[in-house]
Chains A and B, each alone.
Chain A
């Protein structure tokens, strides 16, 4: 027995097969799909909702990420949206009574050159102005927050400064998924695992439901909360998305005593590290350059990450890599999410989550639920509509990823 065995949450599954019709059908039972269902039920009383997944709940990127929650983005609209999500995460345990192992750690984003110090200062200034608590700090403060760091960067990457995002946090990804699944199921939402959607039902130009091996299901609104193959789903409705999909790899070490407090990222070296509640050191970097749907990992990636991480944190040299994995990231051309209407009646979308989907789960779910319930995009997500690309109003956010 250990504290990580799930004893608090339960999943009160519905009995039987999907009904022939629901008010809302959500494709994808990951964090985003389940959170949207949860907020439809709890905020808007819409419970005639069905969430479908080709695999088990949380089997996609919700269970393959690095569990970081932060709002230190580069444009006002993003900072506001992610700050709202960060604050919802802070309240999620109180709201649901579920233990998601939320831990505010603070995120240090290091700069090792004049030009990246400028980037980090810019991040801090923009964050402060838009409601995220981020300061620019110097090497002494960095060393105080993270004593394990080698400030000389192995002699090659001397630390010049960092932006310090006070409210950067982590939470256990699976428990976030299950918390929303539990809440949705308890409110009467249906969640069907191993029920792939194979096509969309259409009436003229309007999407009216989905096709599945368990039969056709009609719906007032279909929401695609698919990760990875979103271009395929959108393609069924004739919607072309400015999305490219890339694999993002990460790995953990064996478990060690809790001695590494913050989340640390490096702008020049492009990697990030934190210690999980289980004691593992979790390390990741940028997504693979070539587009792909693969979830296998490469040795060269392990090498690059290990070299970067040990350069700044020599103690890691003696730690052992336990397992590596990959998630697949849908990256939009402006590195911001795409939320809401698709231009096709009856079909809405939640995509473009790149490497920043986990941290957005509460806010995106809440805001999309409001959009579905009211038909109008709330101000927090209104700038992130698909139509922005046709309006010359893209939300280019160079700070969106922990990656470039």
Chain B
């Protein structure tokens, strides 16, 4: 029943998830070695092993986050994936976080100034996304 396994391209990322008031998140400082993804005004995903400091919100939810897998994409890979697998227009400004279906799987693209990006997907759906974009990524290699 399971589809044939394919070479894994998406690594499970270790990080932290913080849900707090937007203003508290705006004023927070994050570990220097971490990469920070602002999923929504009240939701930050901090990629890195260092536990982030508690922002100024006594009700903040701060928890380890191991639920995402991610892979870095070169500018050419971003373009190819956008052309073949994304029905919606990517934002034109950089940096930016784009969220929506990629190849039919809910996913996120953290788009960087140099044209590269970090592709994020829930670990539970990682196998589906990998299988669907494998041909595209192979074409960029």
Contacts and interface: CB of A to CB of B under 8 A. Distances in A.
Contacts of A158: 1
A289 interface: no
A311 to B, nearest CB: 13
**Contact residues of B: prevailing secondary structure:** loop
B3 interface: yes
Interface in B72-91: 87
A156 B3 CA distance: 8
B132 to A, nearest CB: 12
A155 interface: yes
Interface in B1-46: 1, 3
Interface in A138-167: 155-156, 158
B106 to A, nearest CB: 16
B2 to A, nearest CB: 10
A42 B67 CA distance: 68
Nearest to A156: B3
Contacts of B3: 155-156
Contacts of A156: 3
Please tell me the size bucket of the interface on A.
Answer: under 10
A352 B61 CA distance: 46
Nearest to A303: B87
A113 B1 CA distance: 11
Nearest to A155: B3
Interface in B41-76: none
A290 to B, nearest CB: 17
A115 to B, nearest CB: 14
Contacts of B87: 300
A158 B3 CA distance: 12
B38 to A, nearest CB: 29
Nearest to B87: A300
Nearest to A307: B104
A155 B87 CA distance: 26
B95 to A, nearest CB: 29
A155 B1 CA distance: 8
B128 to A, nearest CB: 11
Nearest to A300: B87
A155 B131 CA distance: 14
A156 B87 CA distance: 23
A92 B3 CA distance: 50
Interface string A154-195: 011010000000000000000000000000000000000000
A300 B87 CA distance: 10
B69 to A, nearest CB: 21
A300 B3 CA distance: 25
A208 B87 CA distance: 53
Interface string A297-324: 0001000000000000000000000000
Contacts of A155: 3
Contacts of B1: 158
Nearest to B4: A155
Contacts of A300: 87
A290 B1 CA distance: 34
A217 to B, nearest CB: 50
A191 to B, nearest CB: 46
Nearest to A299: B87
Nearest to B104: A307
A160 to B, nearest CB: 11
A179 B132 CA distance: 51
A78 B3 CA distance: 40
A158 B1 CA distance: 8
A10 B1 CA distance: 57
A300 B1 CA distance: 28
B78 to A, nearest CB: 23
A155 B3 CA distance: 8
A270 to B, nearest CB: 15
B77 to A, nearest CB: 24
A140 B39 CA distance: 50
A19 B87 CA distance: 56
4 contacts: A155-B3, A156-B3, A158-B1, A300-B87
Q: Which A-B residue pairs are the 4 nearest by beta carbons?
A: A155-B3, A156-B3, A158-B1, A300-B87
